[in-house]
């Protein structure tokens, strides 16, 4: 994401003892979202689109940055994150 032409840094939006969520704007009106699991076991991590700075109840197309898989989410994005692992997505409003 550091090669995106917009050149804006992601910010830590959520921080707890068990997880973090980082997000920031990308070129083309897209958003990057990173869900980080700080635990020693796999766990679900979730964030609402509103917390990401998007319209509450919006629908986004998410592209998994590791696998390239596409998925659609309304209102929030979540996933099971492996121990000390990360899920990273680019989000585009639908």
Q: Structurally, how many domains does the chain consist of? A: 1
For 28-42, write each residue's pLDDT tens digit: 999 999 999 999 999
- Domain membership of residue 63 (yes or no) is yes
Residue 55 sits at φ, ψ, to 5 deg, of -60, 135
pLDDT for res 1: 74
Whether the CA torsion 75, 14, 42, 18 is positive or negative: it is negative
Q: Which pTM does this prediction carry?
A: 0.93
CB-based contact 47:5 (threshold 8 Å): no
Q: Are strands 59-64 and 19-25 parallel, antiparallel or unpaired?
A: unpaired
pLDDT for res 21: 98
For 45-94, write each residue's pLDDT tens digit: 999 999 999 998 899 999 999 999 999 999 999 999 999 999 999 999 99
The CATH number of the domain holding residue 59 is: 2.60.40.1180
Q: Is the pLDDT of residue 4 over 90?
A: yes
- Domain membership of residue 56 (yes or no) is yes
pLDDT for res 3: 87
**Full domain range(s) for residue 55:** 11-93
Quickly state the pLDDT bin for 17 (edges 50, 70, 90).
Answer: very high
């Amino acid at each position: 994401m550091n090669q995106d032409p917009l050149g804006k840094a992601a910010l830590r939006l959520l921080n707890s003892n068990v997880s973090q969520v980082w997000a920031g704007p990308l070129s083309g009106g897209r958003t990057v979202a990173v869900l980080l699991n700080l635990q020693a076991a796999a766990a679900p991590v979730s964030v609402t689109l509103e917390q990401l700075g998007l319209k509450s109840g919006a629908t986004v197309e998410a592209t998994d940055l590791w696998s390239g898989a596409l998925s659609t989410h309304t209102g929030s994005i979540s996933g099971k994150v492996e121990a000390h692992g990360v899920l990273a997505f680019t989000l585009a409003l639908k």
